[in-house]
Amino acid sequence: MLLATLEADKIEYLDQLGRSYGEVQGTSCRTIDAILAEDWYGSGIGGRWAVGALGLRRDQAAAASIGGWWGLKRMEQAMATTAEKRQAFRSLHESGFFLLPNAWDCGSAVRLAKLGFKAIASTSAGAAWAAGKQDGELGLEAVLDHLRMLVASTHLPVNADFENGFADRAEDVARNVALAVNMGVAALSIEDWSGTSMYETDQAVERIAAARIAIDAIDPTVMLVGRNENFRVADMSVSASIDRAVAYADAGADCLFVPFILDHGAVAELIAAVAPKPVNVVVQQYDEGISAFAELGVRRCSVGGSLARKTWAAFDAAAQTLRRYEVGDRS
């Protein structure tokens, strides 16, 4: 098990030692390797661990520098914590309803955790805006770094918005999904939009199946969300989207997500079609409509980029007010 240590588990290891980003460095946004490279606990956790990258290899002896058997035990506990978060997230989908707000940086993740939410998701749009870019402009490496950061920021399970897997071919999707799982996420979504067009159904199903195989090779408890981007195709019918959702469920998706199918009748039809697998609905308005979806049998509601959008809108409004008081400039 130790030889399969993932970089995300280094983060959990610090948590097990009671040293969160904030506690160790006074900020939650320092990179994990920067923290681990420093000389904590006498002879340095990270310098030795980092040499082994994703596995301990010859540096299993590094554990001796923090207490021999005790150190190995704590590492195993850290890895168990990742497994516990994944199992807890899967358990949330077994019955009832929960909210899955989308965080876009360390601060939003920490605040959502403090408010008592049970899990968070990432948002491709929110992450891009935080980086000064537009949705879809972040590449694979940037997104992996972002997921690592979110996982490190909170004790909550993280559901990754993994877009189209950053690849078209199924085998490339599988490779990238494995990289995402190794960041410590509890779930990830794969969508059927290439960035310019909808994948044909057969190819889309093959991509979901490849993602499932990649996940199962690492940790079968990680959930796969099959996502149909129906809103991007003007003439795509609800029935066609539901057919795709059923096909994705059959190919190994654990949860189904068709953004902006919000009509209650259509949502009920989707739920029935993929049952007993759970359905996610994205909401933009935070009102009683959420309770109505729960009553229909929707298992979870995410918010996509809407929370980030509301936050940036408030920021812009405040900044515009401030700008009026620029000395010598009343524009």
Q: In the block, which residue shows the tokens 């098990």? A: 1
58's tokens: 């010859």
The rounded Cα 42 to chain-centroid distance in angstroms is 34
pLDDT of residue 1: 36
Return the amino acid letter for 53: A
Single pTM value for the model: 0.76
Cα separations in angstroms, 230 against 82, 90, 102, 200, 215: 33, 26, 20, 13, 25
Q: In the block, which residue shows the tokens 């939650």? A: 28
Return the amino acid letter for 90: R
The answer to whether residues 123 and 103 touch, using CB atoms and an 8 Å cutoff, is: yes
User: What is the enclosing helix (H) or strand (E) of 280?
Assistant: strand 279-282
Coarse DSSP helix, strand, coil percentages of the chain, rounded to the nearest 5 percent: 55, 10, 35
DSSP, res 193: B
More confident residue, 270 or 260: 270
* Position 25 pLDDT exceeds 90: no
Q: In whole angstroms, what is the distance from residue 18 CA to residue 12 CA?
A: 10
Q: In the block, which residue shows the tokens 């003007």? A: 234
Q: In whole angstroms, what is the distance from residue 295 CA to residue 253 CA?
A: 23
Mean per-residue pLDDT for 204-229?
98
* Position 28 pLDDT exceeds 50: no
Of 33-37, 141-145, 190-194, 234-238, the least confident: 33-37
- Summarize pLDDT for 239-258 with one digit per residue, the tens: 999 999 999 999 999 999 99
Phi, psi of 122 (to 5 degrees): -85, 170
The answer to whether residues 75 and 5 touch, using CB atoms and an 8 Å cutoff, is: yes
Residue 232: band (very low, low, confident or very high) from pLDDT cuts 50, 70, 90: very high
pLDDT of residue 13: 38
Q: In the block, which residue shows the tokens 């310019």? A: 196
Backbone dihedral region of 277: left (phi > 0), alpha (psi from -120 to 50 degrees) or beta?
beta
Per the prediction, the chain carries an average pLDDT of 82
Q: Which of 223, 135, 133, 125 is nearest to 177 (CA)?
A: 223
61's tokens: 């002896």
* Position 116 pLDDT exceeds 90: yes
Q: Which of 198, 160, 196 is nearest to 179 (CA)?
A: 160
